[in-house]
Structure formats: structure tokens, C-alpha cells
Chain A
Amino acid sequence: MKREQVVDLYFMEARAKLIDLAAFLDRVDRVPGTDDFRMAAFRHALQELPGGKPDRAKRVLLSLSDPTTEPLPAATTKAAAGAWPGAALPPIAN
């Protein structure tokens, strides 16, 4: 496919997701409170989007991943949160 065809196929969908993303950040920032580890990771992951570097999807997924290699002593929950609680990321404003 040519670039114009890709844009024809996906622009409106991506535009809607972009506005949804912006509205989500507004919604979170509008209410009192501070970011938990998920929002801290989310704002850090957004930093992977600007610039012309390839593999943005891969880099976003990596930035939300547990980077450790040792098995956990025990599973205390069955659920995943979408971001790694152990990251201890510095706050970042978007």
C-alpha cells in the first residue's frame, strides 16, 4: 500500500482514538488526586510517540512491561494491571 491508502483506511479511526486519549487525560487531570503507578506509566509510555523513530507500538508495550527476569516467589493475584507496579517512575506532566 501507498501512504495515502494507509491514511485513507485508518485516519478517521486513529483520529477518534487520539481525541479519546486527549479526553481521557483531561478527565483524569480534572479531578483531585495524584497519579498511581498506572497513570505514571501511561504518561511515560506517551513519550514514545513523538519523533520519527520506528516501532512505537513495541516501545510502548516494552515501557509498560515488567522488565525483571526472576520468577515471583508466589502469585498473590490472578489479575494484571496494565502497567508494572515496580517501576517507581518520576512524575511527568502531559
Chain B
Amino acid sequence: MRFIEPHGHMVSRTTDDYLAMAMAGCQAVCEPAFWAGFDRSSVDGFYDYFRQLTDYEPKRAAKFGLTHYCWLCLNPKEAEDVKLAEEVIGIIPKFLDRPSVLGIGEIGLNKNSRNELAVFEKHVDLAARHGQLILIHTPHLEDKLKGTRLIIDALKADGRVAPGRVIIDHVEEHTIQLVLEAGFWAGMTLYPESKCTAARAADMVEMYGSDRLWMNSACDWGVSVPLAVPRAALEMRLRGHSAKAVDALIYGNPARFLSQSKNFAEKL
């Protein structure tokens, strides 16, 4: 089995996790910028985080034979402070020509506030101006439906980024159709307690097709499982999905979407 982990916050995982992922068939891991569990106090904190993502973490992953890519942004949980967000967006272009950067993400909404939406739109503008792919985080639990609608409306209103260059992540049964029907890619996040189980992910593949769909573990410092993607692949095999179909979903689809970034395509 081979797979790409398209969404893993590896800076908060151990080397044991890298080893387990490599042994399970992981070919590459892609790390979106995210919240550290606390609010950073200045733009300098982000500068160092982006250095960690673009410089140090690829070397750590390489020790286990894994290619490491990243996405850059200020995450929605810190987006209430618009001035800080503007400063962070201002330094991102310095990192965009680093060889492992895939695009802008994970941007999006958390509580669906006006400032979060304004900061989301500034990130979309940044991606549009620099021709970058976009990875989007949709809000948690009761906020997901509203946030997904606001995100899709904002992307349509901007209009500069083709839907095929945007993946909207953490979809569930009540949001997947909105995302796919608008032409975007959709990500399913496999979490033990929230978001989506392996069985529900397989349900959604069967109900909505797998053309513009990927699965990820979104493993971070919270309750999450770095081997969730191969576990879901096993679930699909038990349900009679062919090895070829599973490979297309867990390797082919992330490769197809991410190859739109020249940095990914070159190393594939």
C-alpha cells in the first residue's frame, strides 16, 4: 500500500510517528500551517514557525525517507487580530519560493466572525496574486455548515482562484455536497472523536464518488491518529473496494491535486 498524508501537523508529532507512517507506505506528508495551541505574540513567532516548516521539518522527515511539504498562513483561530494577520500575510511571500511550499493554508474560518472572514479574504487575495493553491479549514461541529457556506460564497465572490485549485477540508455528510457541487475538491478528516470515522468516509466515497476527494489524518497535538489513512484504506478493502480504487483515492488523488503546484510535481 502507498499513500500520501495530505494534512498532518508533524511539528507536533514524534519521530516514532514518522517511522510508523513510512513503514505503512506513506510517500509524502503535507503540513498546513496551524494554531500552536496558544496565540503567538508577534509576527516573529510566525517567522520562526515558517522557518521550521520550510527548513527544519523537511530534514526531520527525510531521515525516515519521507518527503515533507507545507502550506503557509495565519490560521483562523488567530484571525481575530487583523493587524497581526496583515503582518503575517506580509512575510509569507518571502517563503513562497522555498522548494517545499505547496500553497496557502490551512486558511478558513473558526467561529465565523467578521474579522476571520476578512482575514480569509486577504489570504485568498495573497494566493490569487501569487498563483498559489489553497487549502481550507472548515469550522468545527455546529459552526461547520455556516462556515462552509461563507467560505464558498467568499471564493465565488473573489472569482480569481479556479475551484479545481482549492481543497475544502474537514467535510462531513452535511457539507460535502455543497463543496463538490461548487467545483472544489473536498477533504475528509479521519478523527476518533469528531469530524469523520473511517466507516463514514467510506460511506461518503460510495455516495458522492471519489473524483475530487481525499482523506487525511490531520494528526496534531490533539486526539488524532497518524495512521488513520491506511486504516480507512483497510476499511474500504473490507467493504469490497478494489486495491486499484483505494490506491487512486489515497495516493492518486492527493498527487493529482497537489501536482498543480510545481514544487510537488518536480519531486513526485
Contact = CB atoms under 8 A, between A and B. Distances in A.
Interface of A: 1, 5, 9-10, 55, 57-58, 61-62, 64-69, 71-78, 80-84
Contacts, number: 79
A63 to B, nearest CB: 9
Contact of B143 (A55, A58, A66, A74): A66
Contacts of B141: 64, 80-83
B68 interface: no
Q: Majority SS of interface residues in chain A?
A: loop
Give the interface size class of chain B.
Answer: 20 to 34
A71 B112 contact: yes
A9 B112 contact: no
A78 B115 CA distance: 13
Given A66-B142, A81-B142, A71 B110 contact: no
Given A62-B145, A65-B144, A82-B142, A72 B113 contact: yes
B156 interface: no
B166 to A, nearest CB: 20
Contact of B140 (A5, A67, A73, A80): A80
B205 to A, nearest CB: 13
B200 A75 contact: no
